[in-house]
Structure 1
Amino acid sequence: MAMAHGTRVQYEPVAEIGGGAYGTVYKARDTESGQFVALKSVRVQTDQNGLPSSTVREVALLRRLEQFDHPNVVRLMDVCATQRSDQETKVTLVFEHVDQDLKTYLERAPAPGLSPGRIKDLMKQLLCGLAFLHSNRVMHRDLKPENILVTSQGQVKLADFGLARIYSCHMALTPVVVTLWYRPPEVLLQSSYATPVDIWSTGCIFAEMFRRKPLFCGESEMDQLGKIFEVVGLPPEEEWPTDVTLSRKNFPPLMARPITDFVPEINEQGAQLLLKMLTFDPLKRISALNALEHLYFHDEETLIETKS
């Protein structure tokens, strides 16, 4: 991790892109290459040796992934650390800059929205990026349309992965409401979780590409769970996690409804895949690798799309 080089400023901020839960993001110009980059800074608590130890580990992990240069993962180009005080270091992550996220991309799509072939292509790329992260033991933990970038050529790039842990100490200071809408039941119930969390979020995003609005818009953890059970039904007692305080009895006994009631434009294979992603029990939820093997990605529609 390079400490900042004296007075020479390599990255000139051009515009504020947005303030996320983790602080402000800037679009900047790299004065050496002339390229645009995205800058994300975070204040990190330091240990006795003046080093932000957990952050160093996280950044090392992101740097290691960088060596693979995966097409569906946003590039981390540089890391700069500036010591602000004995207790605090400012770490700036420099990423490649992509003009739009999936949220904007969906909003800009002319009515009636994206074609089935386009949705399939975006989903395939998203799952490829996710399979890559998961095979390297990286969870995203905060997948939503704002964290999925789409280049002008239609290439999907996952952003802000691995940052959940870097930012966790900083999060406590931020009175920002991180959206619940893409959170899986095990996180809402505060149960233990692993890579399947990202698959649930991906299922929510899959549905949203067809609907052009989020699938589950809860206003609190309880409300979010209620909205989920209205679609997938209340899970059986034996699937309810044992390490949670919230009882299954707090929810009405709802039956699952056909997913096509909520996502009418989806085809049969797509609906099957979506249900495998929106499976309550994380151990029974499909993996990113298995999702890529699903019939949805191998049916005749794909062949027609490529010919036209």
Structure 2
Amino acid sequence: NKFRRYVPITKNNYDKAKSTVQIKNVAQQSQQYKGPNLKLGAAYQTPNRHKSLSLTNTNTGHQQVKNMQSPLYVLQNAAHALLDFEKEEIMKFETVYYYGQRANKCYDVMQPNFGFDDKEGDYNPVVADHIGYRYELQKLLGQGSFGKVYRAFDHKHKRVVALKMLKNRKKFRKQGFVEIQILEKLRHNDPENTNCCITLLNRGEFRNHLFMVMDLLSMDLYAYLAKYDLKGLPMSTVKDFCIQCTKALSYSFSLNIIHADIKPENILLERESSTNIQVIDWGSGAFVGQTIYQYIQSRFYRAPEVILGMPYSLEIDTWSMGCVFYELFTGQPIFQGENEFDQIGKITEVLGYPPRQMLEKAPRKREFFWDAGSDAVRLRTNHKVGSRRLSDSLKAAGRDFIEVINKMLQWEPEQRIKMEELKKLRFFEGVQWNVNAKKDGDVVNGVEALPH
């Protein structure tokens, strides 16, 4: 499931907001975690309650409502479309763009969070209801342990977006703020959106749930591979994707950002008819030096140092992307382990035994290997070490592509190729890295001005 998230958070001292009135206080308390100052547009600013944003037709005398309205105007003219809870809540918003007037609102106020949450803490809205009196929820796109992702309509900018809503649970808040920080830094340093990373359009908190708004993209690369019956893509297409993925990692690495969940499901086409891609889902990410969680990365793409319980940094993304590059050409993951023991075994089939100096530093060494004397180690499983060669499975790809994979998939993190060196390999010869890799990506309209 491409929306599956790990839940590593175990420490948090946020106070739970008992009502929407306390949301601003919770956001302020979050500063101890160095989270961003959340604002939903002007959602939590003191509104001008007597301001009506309507026009009067001089011919008929009837009012013509604009796209945005004051909360007082909605209360005076459409109170029947609001829940009793919303009649008080709406006054905390300066501007109303949509208030769920097309939704059949049926919430059980005896349930958690006034009926808006299920027992797991997920936001549980009805179709066509609103988020923040602006976004209209149209369709559930996916869900996982972190929360849900919806297709939504932004009534302010009249466009369809993807809206990610986190669960109303303390353990998700810390990582949610980290994800927002990462997305804001990616956007702030690339306002033209030229580096193939998803753009954060807006973010905020609504009814005790953090949410993020991003571009709605097309299919992921696994679905794209499935169109080719998982038999691999033409080399010209593989190279196009590799160039953009390298550009994305080179950019995130320059900002000391670790993605920590690179896989085909987290690389999406901008449109089905385009080969322009964006790397999404930075919810597992971290800044270098701030990595505190060990259970990260999807298993097929999990770097060996993570499996062995060692410290990790940017190099885990290099490993994962090398696995993705291989899969783009062959249609199959290079290491398809059924569990971590099988995963380590399959890695040894291709790369042989890990270096002794690496294993000496690995806290989980004895779970996977045993000492055979004379500085030798052996696997605890029955995998045939060194039985598979990249040159065999990638023979049709050519030596230049094999060189790329070989240099990205090294046991020791410090031996993996750096992104700037990767760009210089023969496979990428002729690529103009200082030119926008996107062929038709214009600056997106409707991006909120986020404070930094």
Bucket of the pairwise TM-score, normalised by the shorter protein: 0.7 to 0.9
1:277 aligns with 2:412: no
Which residue number in structure 1 is paired with residue 358 of structure 2?
239
Write out per-residue CA displacement over residues 9-31 of structure 1, whole angstroms, 9 at most, x where no aligned residue. Answer: 21112222122442221111111
Which residue number in structure 2 is paired with residue 251 of structure 1?
379
User: Of residues 27, 33, 39 in structure 2, which corresponds to 1:2?
Assistant: 39
Give the unaligned 5+ runs of structure 2.
1-37, 44-88, 91-95, 97-132, 371-377, 432-452
Q: 1 CA distance for matches of 2:230 and 2:170?
A: 50
Which residue number in structure 2 is paired with residue 115 of structure 1?
234
More helix by share: 1
Q: CA deviation at 1:263?
A: 2.9
Write out per-residue CA displacement over residues 132-176 of structure 1, whole angstroms, 9 at most, x where no aligned residue. Answer: 00110110000111111112221111101254459x99x99xxxx
Q: CA deviation at 1:57?
A: 5.1
User: Of residues 224, 236, 252 in structure 1, which corresponds to 2:343?
Assistant: 224
Contact 2:232–2:327 (8 Å) recurs in 1: no
Q: 2 CA distance for matches of 1:198 and 1:237?
A: 23
Is the partner of 1:213 in helix, strand or coil?
Answer: coil
Name the structure, 1 or 2, with higher relative contact order (CA <8 Å, separation 6+). 1
Is the partner of 1:100 in helix, strand or coil?
Answer: coil
1:113–1:207 CA distance, 2 compared to 1 (3 A): closer
Which residue number in structure 1 is paired with residue 139 of structure 2?
15
Is the partner of 2:414 in helix, strand or coil?
Answer: coil
Letter in 2 for 1:2: K
TM-score normalised per structure 1:
0.83
Letter in 1 for 2:187: E
Is the partner of 1:81 in helix, strand or coil?
Answer: strand
Which residue number in structure 2 is paired with residue 30 of structure 1?
154
Is the partner of 2:204 in helix, strand or coil?
Answer: strand
Aligned residues: 286
Contact 1:234–1:256 (8 Å) recurs in 2: no
The RMSD of aligned alpha carbons is: 3.0
Q: 2 CA distance for matches of 1:112 and 1:43?
A: 37
Q: 1 CA distance for matches of 2:386 and 2:175?
A: 44
User: Of residues 70, 86, 91 in structure 1, which corresponds to 2:210?
Assistant: 91
Q: CA deviation at 1:114?
A: 2.0
Write out per-residue CA displacement over residues 274-296 of structure 1, whole angstroms, 9 at most, x where no aligned residue. Answer: 01111010010012222122111
User: Of residues 268, 271, 276 in structure 1, which corresponds to 2:399?
Assistant: 268
Contact 2:258–2:286 (8 Å) recurs in 1: no
User: Of residues 62, 67, 78 in structure 1, which corresponds to 2:183?
Assistant: 62
User: Of residues 250, 269, 286 in structure 1, which corresponds to 2:417?
Assistant: 286
TM-score normalised per structure 2:
0.58
Instruction: Report the structure number with the largest CA radius of gyration.
Output: 2
Which residue number in structure 2 is paired with residue 154 of structure 1?
275
Q: 1 CA distance for matches of 2:161 and 2:336?
A: 33
Is the partner of 2:411 in helix, strand or coil?
Answer: coil
Which residue number in structure 2 is paired with residue 212 of structure 1?
331
Q: CA deviation at 1:110?
A: 7.0
Q: 1 CA distance for matches of 2:135 and 2:352?
A: 51
Which residue number in structure 1 is paired with residue 163 of structure 2?
39
